[in-house]
Amino acid sequence: MTALMELRNVTKVYSGGLFRKRYTVALEDIFLPIGGERPGILTIAGESGSGKTTMGMLLLGFLAPTRGQILYQGKDLWQMPKTEWMTFRREVQAIFQDPFEVYNPFYKVDHVLTVPIAKFRLARSKEETRALVEEALLGVGLRPDETLGRYPHQLSGGQRQRITVARALLLKPRLIIADEPVSMVDASLRATILESLRKLNREMGISILYITHDLATAYHISENIVVLYQGSVTEAGDVDSVIKEPQHPYTQLLVSSIPWPDPDRRWEREELVARGETLEEETRGCKFAPRCPFVMSICHESHPPLFRTDSSRAAACYLYKDAPVIEGSDIGGVLGRGERVPLEEGQAPAT
């Protein structure tokens, strides 16, 4: 299955500092295929410093990798001729986190919808443009007469974010990178926006890369998940099992820290498994070793590869060193499995 986009051995390093050059490794040796014949929703989960936003920027072509390649339909993004780049631009779109910042305050909100229609020549007349815009707005549950012709500050955050989704709907891309699309939206509106994303995937066959730190929403919207910690993949696979039975100690920590909205399910009363935050530590081995409750000597010596613990699961942890090692792009095999049958309301998932 050829992937739509692929990160091939990608490393991104930021350098800074005046006298002492300080290097921040945002992403290291990442292999990841995205999208393909069966468009799905993949979550990239991680906290701040995990590299998830960098990954989004790399995939959108806003950043160039320090090492490795970013492929679009098999071709290197940074070696593409201009025409192919324009196609890429049209076919890979994004939804960003801040519903206010994505609008140019000088223009009305229509601007963000009409400009791409014009640039990508999606309509041939003003009427066609108007029709496309209205159809897209209705598709996300907004009323054109209540939203068009207004300035961004005259609309609510939820409305603005929905317009961003309408924009994606309008362009009918093949892949949408959604970087924390609901984290700045009120809880009551999150459901609508996430539901729109699901609709885009199911009805229009658009692959979605859902970047987030919120595992609760990730669980509901995606089929597969990749967990990042300080620039490396720690765990990947089917989202149900990864969240319900996390294998990597970091994922276990993450899942146990989620504040579930259920007063009967409080955080375990015992002492948190990992030690607190550390300040600046460089390790040659596993990056989580300083905080890991299961740390062994081998963990400090070299960075663990991804071990395939199951047909649809993998973890980069020496606890599973007897499992076969996944090389490079084979990670796709772990993410491509699992027929996802949409559940009926109220139905419990089959184990």
The yes or no reply on residue 14 touching other proteins (CB under 8 A) is no
Scanning residues 254 to 273, which ones bind other proteins (CB under 8 A)?
254, 256-267, 272
Binding to other proteins, residues 232-251 (CB under 8 A) = 240, 243-244
Query: Does 105 engage in binding with other proteins (CB under 8 A)?
Result: yes
Residue 235 and residue 215: Cα distance in Å, rounded? 13
Residue 9 to residue 15: CA distance in whole angstroms: 19
Please report, as a single letter, which amino acid is at residue 340.
R
Beta carbons of 303 and 230 less than 8 angstroms apart:
no
Could you tell me which stretch among 10-18, 70-78, 109-117, 132-140 binds other proteins (CB under 8 A)?
Answer: 109-117
Nearer to other proteins, 67 or 143 (CB): 143
**Residue 333 in the binding site for other proteins (CB under 8 A):** no
Candidate list 96, 123, 204, 290; residue touching other proteins; CB under 8 A:
96
Q: How far is the CB of 138 from other proteins (least distance, A)?
A: 15
Of 81 and 346, which has the nearer Cβ to other proteins?
346
Point out which residues pair with 238 in neighbouring strands: 224
State the Cα–Cα distance between residues 160 and 193, nearest whole angstrom: 11
Task: Check residue 156 for interaction with other proteins (CB under 8 A).
Answer: yes
Angle (deg, nearest 10), helices 157-171 and 187-204: 10
d(CA 153, CA 42): 32
The minimum distance between CB 215 and other proteins, in angstroms, equals: 8
| Residue in 13, 123, 204, 216 binding other proteins, rule: CB under 8 A | 216
Which two tokens mark 25? 């490794």
With H, G, I as helix, E, B as strand and everything else as coil, classify residue 329.
Answer: helix
Q: Which two tokens stand for residue 215?
A: 């595992």
Closer of 78 and 302 to other proteins (Cβ): 78
Residue 192 in the binding site for other proteins (CB under 8 A): yes
Q: State the minimum distance, in angstroms, from the CB of residue 267 to other proteins.
A: 6
Q: For residue 180, state whether it binds other proteins (rule: CB under 8 A).
A: no
Among 15, 19, 83, 106, binds other proteins (CB under 8 A): 106
* Token pair for 22: 């300080």
Locus of tokens 């089929």: 223
Q: Please tell me the count of residues contacting other proteins according to CB under 8 A.
A: 73
Report d(CA 146, CA 21) in Å as an integer.
52
Q: Which of 210, 219, 307, 320 binds other proteins (CB under 8 A)?
A: 219
Measured from the CB atom, the residue of 116 and 290 that comes closer to other proteins is: 116
What's the min distance (Å) between Cβ of 191 and other proteins?
A: 4
What is the gyration radius of the CA atoms in the chain, in angstroms? 21
The footprint of other proteins on residues 59-88 (CB under 8 A) is 60, 62, 86
Backbone dihedral angles phi then psi of residue 178, each to the nearest 5 degrees: -105, 105
State the Cα–Cα distance between residues 25 and 232, nearest whole angstrom: 10
